[in-house]
């Protein structure tokens, strides 16, 4: 049983990457509808990307690539389905505490060693961080590098492009995967993914197909389960032979999240405790998402936060600021094996 939807926030409490969408702007799409196929046809695309040779004059040296058990993304791309799940605004310390306490059973069973990796976000708020992520700059391991990347655009002088990096020749990873034959789908959450207003259409516009409903947004107590239900429909409607790159931006961790903690009230406001309760809510439903994404073939999944947020830490509240609670995020990648 879910608590009633919280009342709308006043306009002066809204911020661009958080609460309600604006009005429809020209050239944007309504909620829950798919955008045009600007990144390639929906029929099977070309053969999997063939990695180009790397060298100092193109992609940077790879002779010093450290020994690693990381996957060769040149083998993964074109073979497996791909999932990028951003747990918007999730703090690393809260995620780590819950995993260690056994309060995230469905996520923890997939985390390498049962624990989140500590990383640094590429941005301090949703828009900046996702622009970087979609360019191939996932959160960076917190320990000193170098840290070869999973994906990278081809450009001269890159020192984090290695033999196992999937190199794309398009401006962003999404169009690069579309060129490799993937159907690219966005299921949005926070305000930058609503397809409403000019700014709300920038990030979803990278994808061949995008979905957003008010029920997916930050003010909905059932946002993640609604997103998962949409994903199940998307996967069921895709031709089995077509590879899928699915991006889901989870809004449940973002403020307001007080309604995920039993007994909390609007007057109590948001806190680390309500933030933790929101993550437990996500964990209760994430198994369905993983099952859907592994129902057709093996899936390579990346699950991470785009940035954290402050709850009074050193006097700070919120994000888009330079604090450890904002820059430090949880990260994991792993394979989801196909269902029997």
Confidence label for 68 from pLDDT (cuts 50, 70 and 90): low
Beta bridge partners of 153: 168
What's the confidence (pLDDT) of residue 29?
A: 33
Work out the average pLDDT over 54-60: 36
- pLDDT at residue 6 in the model: 45
What is the bridge-based pairing of β-strands 243-250 and 182-187? parallel
Whether pLDDT at 178 is above 90? yes
Query: Which pLDDT score, from 0 to 100, does residue 36 have?
Result: 38
The 10s digit of each residue's pLDDT in 234-273 is 999 999 999 999 999 999 999 999 999 999 999 999 999 9
Tell me which architecture the domain covering 80-336 has in CATH: 3-Layer(aba) Sandwich (3.40)
Euclidean distance between CA atoms 205 and 246, whole angstroms = 14
Angle among Cα 90, 199, 311 to the nearest 5 degrees reads 25
Per-residue confidence (pLDDT) for residue 52, from 0 to 100: 38
Give the start-to-end residue ranges of the domains of the chain.
80-336
Banded model confidence at residue 281, pLDDT cuts 50, 70, 90? very high
The predicted pLDDT at position 340 comes to: 53
Residue 7 has pLDDT above 50, yes or no: no
pTM, two decimal places: 0.82
pLDDT above 70: residue 206: yes
Q: In terms of pLDDT, which residue wins out, 4 or 337?
A: 337
Whole-angstrom distance, CA of residue 227 vs CA of residue 216: 6
Reply yes or no: is the peptide bond before residue 46 cis, omega within 30 of 0.
Answer: no
């Amino acid at each position: 049983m879910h608590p009633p939807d919280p009342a709308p926030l006043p306009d002066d409490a809204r911020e661009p990457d958080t609460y309600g969408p604006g009005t429809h702007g020209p050239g944007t799409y309504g909620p829950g509808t798919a955008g045009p196929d600007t990144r390639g046809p929906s029929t099977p695309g070309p053969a999997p990307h063939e990695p180009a040779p790397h060298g100092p004059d193109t992609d940077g040296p790879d002779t010093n690539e450290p020994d690693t058990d990381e996957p060769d993304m040149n083998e993964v791309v074109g073979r497996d389905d791909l999932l990028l799940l951003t747990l918007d605004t999730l703090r690393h310390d809260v995620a780590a505490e819950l995993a260690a306490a056994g309060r995230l059973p469905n996520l923890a069973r997939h985390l390498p060693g049962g624990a989140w990796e500590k990383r640094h976000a590429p941005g301090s708020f949703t828009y900046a961080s996702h622009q970087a992520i979609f360019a191939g700059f996932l959160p960076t391991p917190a320990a000193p590098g170098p840290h070869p990347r999973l994906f990278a655009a081809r450009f001269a002088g890159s020192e984090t492009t290695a033999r196992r990096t999937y190199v794309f020749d398009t401006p962003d990873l999404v169009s690069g995967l579309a060129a490799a034959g993937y159907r690219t789908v966005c299921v949005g959450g926070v305000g930058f993914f609503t397809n409403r207003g000019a700014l709300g259409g920038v990030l979803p516009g990278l994808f061949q197909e995008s979905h957003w409903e008010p029920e997916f947004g930050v003010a909905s107590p059932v946002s993640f389960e609604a997103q998962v239900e949409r994903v199940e429909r998307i996967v069921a409607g895709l031709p089995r032979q077509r590879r899928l790159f699915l991006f889901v931006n989870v809004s449940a961790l973002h403020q307001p999240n007080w309604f995920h903690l039993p007994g909390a009230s609007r007057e109590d406001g948001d806190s680390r405790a309500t933030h933790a309760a929101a993550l437990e809510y996500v964990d209760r439903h994430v198994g369905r998402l993983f099952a859907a994404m592994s129902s057709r073939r093996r899936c390579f999944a990346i699950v991470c936060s785009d940035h954290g947020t402050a709850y009074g830490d050193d006097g700070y509240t919120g994000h888009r600021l330079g604090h450890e609670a904002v820059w430090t995020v949880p990260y994991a990648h792993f394979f989801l094996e196909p269902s029997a």
